[in-house]
Amino acid sequence: MSKSDQLRIDAQELAQAWSRTLPSVLDASDQAKVWPDEAESNVLRVHITTAGRSLYSFDFKCTYVDSREVRVELVDVERDNHAVDERTDIIQTLVDDYVRHLHECAQQLHALTTR
């Protein structure tokens, strides 16, 4: 990351902006929590709970590579507070959708992260 393209926003402010923006790109019935990583100032942690009876929850690590690019990694998937096999088709489909939504959220916040 070049010095000129570093993330220049307070991690707490960025997490709050994500918290406001993420619901607009998720399904209305999904719930999300966003908070800054305690160890890395360019990382946000995102917990998404699916709606309905499936009771899936997903944890993601969103790392700002620079002021524009976000790398999204799946950390964990649980169903009703129990670990599940992340390789199933339904889980992979949900993960792909959420990763896309997380990138959409980051894109909507470019004006904030590139200032």
| CATH number assigned to the domain covering 3-113 | 3.30.310
- Weakest-pLDDT range from 8-12, 36-40, 56-60, 93-97: 8-12
CA angle at 27 for the pair 21 and 30, rounded to the nearest 5°: 85
Reported as a single tens digit per residue, the pLDDT across 63-85 is 999 988 999 999 999 998 899 99
Which ranges of the chain does DSSP label H, i.e. alpha helix? 11-25, 89-108, 110-113
1, pLDDT greater than 50? no
Whole-model pTM? 0.92
CB 7 within 8 A of CB 42: yes
Query: Domain residue spans in the chain?
Result: 3-113
Reported as a single tens digit per residue, the pLDDT across 23-67 is 999 998 999 999 999 999 999 999 999 977 788 999 999 999 998
Q: Which amino acid is at 42?
A: N
